[in-house]
Amino acid sequence: MSDLDRVLALIDADLDNALDRLFETLRIKSISTDPAFAADVRACAEWHARDLASIGFQADVRDTPGHPIVVGHMRDGTGTSALFYGHYDVQPADPLELWESDAFEPVIQTASDGTRQIRARGAADDKGQLMTFVEACRAWMAVTGRLPIPVTVLLEGEEETGGVNLPPFLEAHADELRADIGLICDTNMWDPQTPAITTMLRGMVTEEFTIHGPDRDLHSGFYGNAAVNPNQVLANVIASLRDAEGRVTLPGFYDGVTELPSVLRTDWEKLGFDADAFLGEIGLSVPAGELGRSVLEQVWSRPTCEINGMGGGYQGAGFKTVIPAMASAKISFRLVFDQDPHAVRSAFREFVQARVPADCRVEFTAFGAARACAFDTGAPEFRKTRAALTTEWGREAAFIGSGGSIPVNLDLQEKLGMDVINAGFGLSDDRIHSPNEKYNLTSFHKGMRSWARILAALAE
């Protein structure tokens, strides 16, 4: 029996204990976007540092101007070195009333199709995923007393809020953190049977803007028509952001957006993506993006403009005939290829300013900004990882794109000169960022086994 076989056997035998450990971190309300949960976020960082230390990592919690970062080293051994990245923070759980059980009291449920699932905020994004890697390391240490390759683990606490403190941290600790390859477990499989490495990720610009009109809320009977209504101005701006064919209308928005390379287009066509099923699973049937683009292009290789939140005036029960003093929206642009996030933000701000009446004022708040990124799938680490995944799952691992943004990919690429392998075990129905987020027990179990194999493969 090889070391790897014994590691895999231990992972199988220790599954219940691994779940207990996962549930401990899932119970911590590490909601990074809401200042009210700052202490919980720190408590979660401390839990992970203790957990890594218990395996044998030299681990500690590093302060940043925002939420802390956990760093753990275990650099004995030789060969390809790896920096594993994960994030221990989570999205808010609201609307709470739509959860079938407490968002922060994880449970194992059996779905109608018989799959067993871990339900909790963060089960998939990203605590469940990052723990697949940590548990693989734990098993290797338990069986052999060492890891197959030198490993550093870096866990961020601000991924869900734009992560502005990570890039300077990477720069300040570049020599400490740099490795031959980056590893991230924060992406999806192609489907429940087919593992995948995500090689292309969209970037993102996020912005909040507020239209200020009258200097106070007004009675719409006395002032209606004559006084500008910020709700109307906000709606006018939002409506003008897309044309009738679904294209974003910001001047210069498509600068840097190229057509999909033909080799990738061929790969993607082979995937046999079922657009009707993809939309049908969320209760929809009509693709809402640019006319003439496939749904896979719309979500992987075309840029977006989405209003993630908006509000103004009276939203309570009943009716209030008010013209509000202000209205605001949160907007995000997903970027592809060479779109420049700063140029997009500037174009957006000019676009809004040009559409606001002279007696209104606009206030802008910048959140995150990151370019899109892609990796060279010809490198040997990609080949080895693909083979390990293929062995574990019994089906060839796919190279895919992703509509989501994981800005750390770009940071590792630009600041530390590293390529990154995004191998994750999430599924499209995991409801991350939504009520009843879940992570399949199979993803967790075979995810741990996958990383055990990948660690061995990278040592070869």
When the beta carbons of 23 and 367 are compared against its own copies, the nearer one is 367
Q: For the residues of 346-359, what is the DSSP string, one character each?
A: HHHHHHHHHTS-TT
Nearest residue to 428 (alpha-carbon basis) of 189, 242, 175? 189
Task: Please tell me the distance from the alpha carbon of residue 196 to that of residue 386, in angstroms, as a whole number.
Answer: 8
Task: Please tell me the distance from the alpha carbon of residue 174 to that of residue 434, in angstroms, as a whole number.
Answer: 35
Residue 277 lies near its own copies (rule: CB under 8 A): no
When the beta carbons of 129 and 206 are compared against its own copies, the nearer one is 206
| Cβ atoms of 106 and 23 closer than 8 Å | yes
When the beta carbons of 256 and 313 are compared against its own copies, the nearer one is 313
Indicate the helix (H) or strand (E) that contains 299: helix 295-300
When the beta carbons of 139 and 237 are compared against its own copies, the nearer one is 237
| Cβ atoms of 331 and 239 closer than 8 Å | no
Residue 168 lies near its own copies (rule: CB under 8 A): no
Task: Please tell me the distance from the alpha carbon of residue 178 to that of residue 164, in angstroms, as a whole number.
Answer: 19
When the beta carbons of 324 and 447 are compared against its own copies, the nearer one is 324
When the beta carbons of 238 and 271 are compared against its own copies, the nearer one is 238
Task: Please tell me the distance from the alpha carbon of residue 241 to that of residue 352, in angstroms, as a whole number.
Answer: 9
Task: Please tell me the distance from the alpha carbon of residue 141 to that of residue 136, in angstroms, as a whole number.
Answer: 9
Which residues touch 64 (CB under 8 Å, ≥6 apart)?
Answer: 158, 165, 166, 169
Residue 224 lies near its own copies (rule: CB under 8 A): yes
Figure out which of the listed residues 16, 145, 358, 376 binds its own copies, where binding follows CB under 8 A. 358
Q: What are phi and psi of 182, to 5 degrees?
A: -95, 145
We find the least distance from the C-beta atom of residue 115 to its own copies, in angstroms, to be 18
Residue 410 lies near its own copies (rule: CB under 8 A): no
When the beta carbons of 127 and 453 are compared against its own copies, the nearer one is 127
Footprint (CB under 8 A) of its own copies, residues 136-165:
160-162
Fill in the amino acid letter for 11: I
Residue 260 lies near its own copies (rule: CB under 8 A): no
Residue 226 lies near its own copies (rule: CB under 8 A): yes
Which residues touch 283 (CB under 8 Å, ≥6 apart)?
Answer: none
Q: For the residues of 87-141, what is the DSSP string, one character each?
A: E--B----SGGG-SS-TTS-EEEE-TTS-EEEESTTTTTTHHHHHHHHHHHHHHH
Footprint (CB under 8 A) of its own copies, residues 22-81:
32-35
Figure out which of the listed residues 3, 180, 217, 340 binds its own copies, where binding follows CB under 8 A. 217
Figure out which of the listed residues 38, 238, 257, 379 binds its own copies, where binding follows CB under 8 A. 238
When the beta carbons of 60 and 217 are compared against its own copies, the nearer one is 217
We find the least distance from the C-beta atom of residue 78 to its own copies, in angstroms, to be 38
What's 31's DSSP letter?
B
Residue 440 lies near its own copies (rule: CB under 8 A): no
Q: Which stretch binds its own copies (CB under 8 A): 99-107, 264-272, 314-322, 448-456?
A: 314-322
Residue 324 lies near its own copies (rule: CB under 8 A): yes
When the beta carbons of 51 and 186 are compared against its own copies, the nearer one is 186
Q: Which stretch binds its own copies (CB under 8 A): 141-149, 342-350, 356-364, 443-451?
A: 356-364
We find the least distance from the C-beta atom of residue 22 to its own copies, in angstroms, to be 21
Figure out which of the listed residues 432, 441, 455, 457 binds its own copies, where binding follows CB under 8 A. 432
Task: Please tell me the distance from the alpha carbon of residue 28 to that of residue 75, in angstroms, as a whole number.
Answer: 29
We find the least distance from the C-beta atom of residue 29 to its own copies, in angstroms, to be 14
